[in-house]
Amino acid sequence: MPRKLVDKLRSLIPSNGKKRARKYQRREVPRDQHNVSRSVISEPAKKVLHRLNKSGYEAYLVGGGVRDILLGGKPKDFDIATNATPEEVHGLFRNSRLIGRRFRIVHVVFGREIIEVTTFRGNADSVDQDTAPRDARQTSEHGLLLRDNVYGSQEEDALRRDFTVNALYYCIRDFSVIDFAGGIEDLQNRQLRLIGDPDTRYREDPVRMLRAIRFAAKLGFDIEPETEAPIRELAPLLSHIPPARLFDEVLKLFSAGHGEATYDLLSRYNLLAPLFPETVRALDGGASDELIREALRNTDARIAQGKSVTPYFLFAAMLWPALQVEWARRQDNGDPVQPALHGAIGKVIGRQVQATSIPKRFSGPMKEIWEMQMRLPRRQGKRAFATMAHPRFRAAYDFLLVREAAGEIEPGLGQWWTEFQEANDRDQERMLSQLSSDAPKKRRRRRKPPAQKKASQ
């Protein structure tokens, strides 16, 4: 490893007399001392590893796949790191495609499974600036890393990764696990630790703070003290991240089956406000977050059962407190109920997309879920059938159940809709007839007869 790079990495770790620079040393764990088995690795991933190795390149299973197997789990995705360039990898696999702008990677496609292959990344500060590409490394005024296109060695690649538990490599040739940053020790201690100086690493890419939360919630790990220390102060840096990227990060945060735990951690570290500023403003003003929590519990349960979750339902729940506050404000100002709702929807979504973009294919259904909360109580006559035929009825019905479970509205309406969906035609007619008979009857006002003209004398 170049001396210049070693000095650079050491300088990233603060030393004030109390904290000592953490030493990074390559450690190779043989097969009989770890539990990574080839039987857990997907066949496509093994094919990519073997072909790269047979073609004269180094190739390793890396990151979350190795981490999850060591923890006794079964990874959903398998990533591979190699010393082959993206073009060389692409040339070996006809079923591959080159993607990426900041750093080019290769996706090797096997049906529904995609194996992501990356070239070992280096440190731009350790290369000759006269020969490095002009756009090798660019940073913003806030320290945000804009472009970083430098290839390097396996060791450099490991020390550039975010967390120690993600800097583990599995070699399929001799079945060893290679650890450069003490990741195995941190796995054993169930803690999440950044590689390098946390302040610098978060400024380079503030999304690393969200990744810390996601992994801590997913793995049930503690965030190591030095890793967590700068998060609250640096949380506002997320405002410099493109809204489209933050939208993707929100989906990762809340669609992994640990939504409520993730929500608690985001709130604890002041990271919820950059993602949902209007929601946090409403909660700080006294609004309840019980509906959000109930929706996240519902989402976690669905994921645990192998069911799908929809982004628009998630965003509808996360923004509901903000919508309620804005809707009430407009009604207090004299707007009728329906126009007030439409105006509130437009304003809340308009402000939200400045933080996290919401594609129209999701914002449209989200609006319909909200609007149908006014239609669901109106069931007389043919209204119930028209409501149930709406393409967003099921999601709106689920949202209604969440509102009831959160104590926002009196229970009963959700049960009625549950029974109505399951009833046959005759029972549905009976239920609608019962609604009509239970409805308070309006007293008909008797019309006064026209005044009779007095007969002329």
Give tens-digit pLDDT for 179-227. Answer: 999 999 999 999 999 999 999 999 999 999 999 999 999 999 999 999 9
186 is catalytic: no
Spatial distance between the Cα atoms of 314 and 300, rounded to a whole number of angstroms: 11
pTM score above 0.85: no
- Residue among 77, 197, 199, 205 flagged as catalytic: 77
The answer to whether residue 7 scores a pLDDT higher than 90 is no
Q: Report the candidate in 263, 239, 257, 253 with the shortest Cα–Cα distance to residue 356.
A: 239
Q: Is residue 351 within 8 Å of residue 436, measured between CB atoms?
A: no
**For the chain, what percent of residues have pLDDT higher than 70?**
85
77 is catalytic: yes
In the prediction, which pLDDT does 24 show? 80
Q: Report the candidate in 378, 347, 217, 356 with the shortest Cα–Cα distance to residue 282.
A: 347
In the prediction, which pLDDT does 299 show? 96
The answer to whether residue 135 scores a pLDDT higher than 80 is no
Spatial distance between the Cα atoms of 283 and 289, rounded to a whole number of angstroms: 7
Q: Is residue 357 within 8 Å of residue 331, measured between CB atoms?
A: no
Mean per-residue pLDDT over the chain, rounded: 88
- Residue among 68, 79, 179, 300 flagged as catalytic: 79
The answer to whether residue 16 scores a pLDDT higher than 60 is no
Q: Report the candidate in 157, 182, 6, 13 with the shortest Cα–Cα distance to residue 80.
A: 157
Alpha helices in 152-192 (DSSP H): 154-160, 183-189
> Any residues with CB less than 8 A from the CB of 198 and at least 6 apart, and which?
226, 227, 229, 230
- Residue among 162, 186, 289, 300 flagged as catalytic: 162
Ranking 7-16, 127-136, 401-410 by mean pLDDT, the lowest is 7-16
Residue 290's H or E segment, with its range, is helix 290-304
